[in-house]
């Protein structure tokens, strides 16, 4: 019987290929028939044959059922389950539309005292699906319900079962216009607050584009304690998200997934959320982030930061794998802000406030040619060993990695003073030529002194870099000078860049572990893809638009 369980539950869900074991011999068949739990899982794909459904329901007897009626539901087949809702443990009704309203209503009038998990989702606009659910979820109370997930369905918060929820997920792809009546908006907010107050056992709370409009106003000191919350995912207008955060009281270990849309950049509402975030990750004990990822997406006007206390499993050479949102990251913040300067200011303030001194891995995606002073915000990150840069906006970071031509300026300067008769009376030696100017200049200490691995993606090595010639010269100088300064780069990867073979060969000679995708790129094609007017890549190009940044508006991570 135990072996049968392994076979049954290691398959693709509900495929029932394991039933073949019941045809081996009479003894095996009797063992399978006597175990009702082997027959409790039902799905649309395996429930099209009414006779077979009825037989399996009979074999399941009164064991708790798991019913997944997603997609194309047949009314006659669905009716077979109505009498068994009372002992159903998990119920999934996904991809609903108005044609399923009769089936949903028939399910909703049943008693479901054993239900522990309920998931509902529609495949149409929420404004078209408002009347799908009706006035209640089931006829009587749901005393055992722990997980409640609803997607693309608009309903009053008062319908959500209360008391023992551990997971509550309500998601809409876009914010739905609220009812014009101000009283109804207040009621909507009060119902949400009442629901959260009555659910102190919540461990996962996800609210996407469904926050009440009245959250745009002050929270008036309202507090909602959620002591067991481990993950909080919010999406909506920045003031709504910020004001709900101010109400909630949760543990310092709670991970945050926040996706905010700016309402009015002139009022700088985008900054209001930062003090809360910085306090959360610094008080009482600063979080030791080891991985930090940044995406400045000019096309969608987005800034995305992901901070984690863990490192990527394999940051090199499979860079595209790490460019997806980390499921275990303590912070994922996405903000849509129109002005690039505002996005950069948000980034600067975020980096200044977050505890980043323990960073070991840094990834930056910035396709725009606009430059940014990366060394200023990362100068205190001395533990970084691996850096990944993606796009032309990261050239400034590469410049910050490059030491000056001569690092031993102190000894040379003292020697020069003695030769010129300076006996320590304060006279300053005057440079005789430009070379002396270089040697007497203040010592520039490059950022990331422990850097060993550098990954370059989507860069044009023929691009001009002010003060450095072209990008190829800058990268070569960075590698050579760091080696001279006993801070060598041991690993250099180049992927999807415009670079000539002789340039790649030259770099290979000065780096121990050098990897290149063997593609010289196409400069003309490179700039055809890049939209200089909007500073981004066209979303129709899946290979480009779905890079880590992803986080385009139409991309839904598994949060």
How is residue 143 annotated by DSSP? T
| Cα–Cα–Cα angle for 482, 483, 487, rounded to 5 degrees | 60
Buried b (16+ CB within 10 A) or exposed e, 357-368: eebbbbbbbbbb
Confidence label for 127 from pLDDT (cuts 50, 70 and 90): low
Rounded to the nearest 10 degrees, the angle between the axes of helix 273-282 and helix 340-353 is 20
In whole angstroms, give the CA distance from residue 414 to residue 307: 45
Q: What pLDDT score does 70 carry?
A: 75
Phi, psi (deg, nearest 5) at residue 7: -65, -45
Average pLDDT over the chain, rounded to an integer: 79
Q: How far apart are the first and last CA of the chain?
A: 36
Question: Do residues 146 and 166 lie in contact, with contact meaning Cβ atoms separated by under 8 Å?
Answer: yes
Phi, psi (deg, nearest 5) at residue 209: 60, 30
CA dihedral 532, 344, 552, 244 (to 10 degrees): -160
Reference 393, options 469, 482, 457; nearest CA is 457
Reference 175, options 160, 188, 190; nearest CA is 188
**Between 506 and 540, whose confidence is greater?**
506
* 102-125 tens-digit pLDDT: 778 888 888 999 999 999 888 876
Rounded to the nearest 10 degrees, the angle between the axes of helix 501-508 and helix 471-484 is 10
- Is 548 in a helix, a strand, or coil? coil
Rounded to the nearest 10 degrees, the angle between the axes of helix 273-282 and helix 238-247 is 40
3-state helix/strand/coil string of 483-498: HHCCCCCCEEEEECCE
The DSSP annotation for 386-420 comes to EEEEESGGGHHHHHHTPPPS-S-HHHHHHHHHHHT
- Is 512 in a helix, a strand, or coil? coil
Question: Do residues 164 and 144 lie in contact, with contact meaning Cβ atoms separated by under 8 Å?
Answer: yes
Q: What pLDDT score does 50 carry?
A: 82
- Is 334 in a helix, a strand, or coil? strand
* 425-434 tens-digit pLDDT: 343 444 445 4
Question: Do residues 288 and 355 lie in contact, with contact meaning Cβ atoms separated by under 8 Å?
Answer: yes
Is 165's pLDDT higher than 70?
yes
Q: What pLDDT score does 427 carry?
A: 39
Pairing relationship of beta strands 464-465 and 469-470 according to DSSP bridges: antiparallel
Pairing relationship of beta strands 65-68 and 88-96 according to DSSP bridges: parallel
Q: What pLDDT score does 270 carry?
A: 63
Alpha-carbon distances of 548 from 77, 233, 347, rounded to whole Å? 43, 19, 17
Q: Which of 37-46, 263-272, 470-479 has the highest mean pLDDT?
A: 470-479
Q: What pLDDT score does 534 carry?
A: 38
Q: What pLDDT score does 259 carry?
A: 92
Is 421's pLDDT higher than 60?
no
* 297-354 tens-digit pLDDT: 888 888 999 999 998 876 554 444 444 446 779 999 998 888 888 888 889 999 999 9
């Amino acid at each position: 019987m135990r072996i049968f369980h392994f076979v049954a539950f290691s398959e693709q869900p509900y495929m029932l290929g394991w039933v073949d074991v019941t045809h081996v011999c009479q003894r095996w068949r009797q063992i399978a028939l006597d175990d009702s739990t082997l027959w409790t899982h039902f799905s649309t794909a395996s429930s099209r044959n009414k006779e077979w459904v009825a037989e399996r329901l009979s074999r399941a007897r009164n064991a708790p059922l798991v019913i997944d009626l997603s997609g194309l539901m047949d009314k006659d087949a669905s009716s077979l389950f109505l009498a068994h809702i009372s002992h159903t443990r998990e119920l999934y009704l996904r991809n609903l539309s108005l044609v399923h309203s009769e089936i949903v209503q028939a399910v909703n009038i049943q008693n479901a005292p054993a239900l522990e998990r309920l998931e509902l989702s529609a495949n149409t606009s929420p404004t078209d699906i408002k009347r799908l659910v009706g006035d209640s979820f089931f006829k009587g109370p749901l005393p055992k319900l722990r997980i409640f997930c609803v997607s693309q369905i608009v309903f009053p918060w008062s319908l959500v079962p209360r008391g023992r929820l551990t997971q509550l997920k309500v998601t809409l792809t876009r914010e739905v216009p609220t009812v014009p009546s101000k009283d109804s908006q207040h009621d909507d907010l009060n119902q949400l607050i009442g629901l959260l107050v009555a659910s102190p056992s919540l461990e996962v709370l996800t609210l996407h584009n469904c926050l009440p409009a009245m959250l745009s106003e002050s929270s008036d000191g309202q507090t909602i304690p959620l002591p067991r919350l481990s993950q909080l995912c919010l999406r909506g207008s920045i003031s709504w998200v910020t004001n709900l955060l101010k109400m909630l009281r949760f543990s310092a270990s709670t991970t945050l997934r926040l996706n905010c849309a700016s309402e009015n950049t002139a009022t700088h509402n985008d900054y209001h959320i930062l003090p809360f975030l910085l306090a959360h990750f610094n008080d009482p004990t600063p979080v030791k982030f080891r991985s930090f990822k940044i995406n400045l997406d000019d096309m969608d006007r987005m800034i995305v930061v992901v901070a984690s206390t863990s490192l990527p499993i394999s940051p090199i050479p499979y860079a595209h794998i790490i460019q997806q949102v980390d499921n275990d990251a303590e912070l994922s913040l996405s903000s849509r802000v129109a002005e690039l300067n505002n996005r950069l200011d948000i980034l600067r303030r975020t980096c200044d406030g977050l505890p980043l001194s323990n960073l070991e891995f840094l990834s930056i995606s910035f396709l725009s040619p606009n430059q940014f002073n990366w060394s200023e915000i990362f100068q205190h990150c001395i533990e970084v060993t691996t850096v990944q840069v993606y796009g032309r906006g990261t050239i400034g970071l590469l410049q910050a990695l490059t030491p000056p031509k001569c690092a031993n300026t102190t000894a040379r300067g003292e020697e020069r003073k003695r030769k010129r008769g300076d006996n320590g009376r304060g006279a300053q030696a005057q440079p005789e030529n430009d070379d002396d100017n270089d040697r007497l200049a203040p010592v520039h200490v490059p950022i990331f002194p422990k850097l060993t691995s550098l990954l370059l993606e989507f860069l044009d090595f023929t691009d001009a870099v002010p003060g450095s010639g072209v990008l190829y010269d800058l990268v070569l100088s960075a590698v050579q000078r760091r080696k001279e300064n006993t801070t060598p780069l041991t690993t250099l990867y180049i992927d999807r860049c415009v670079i000539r073979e002789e340039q790649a060969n030259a770099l290979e000679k000065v780096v121990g572990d050098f990897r290149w995708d063997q593609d010289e790129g196409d400069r003309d094609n490179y700039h055809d893809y890049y939209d200089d007017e909007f500073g981004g890549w066209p979303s129709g190009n899946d290979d480009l638009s779905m890079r880590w940044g992803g986080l385009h508006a139409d991309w839904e991570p598994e949060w």
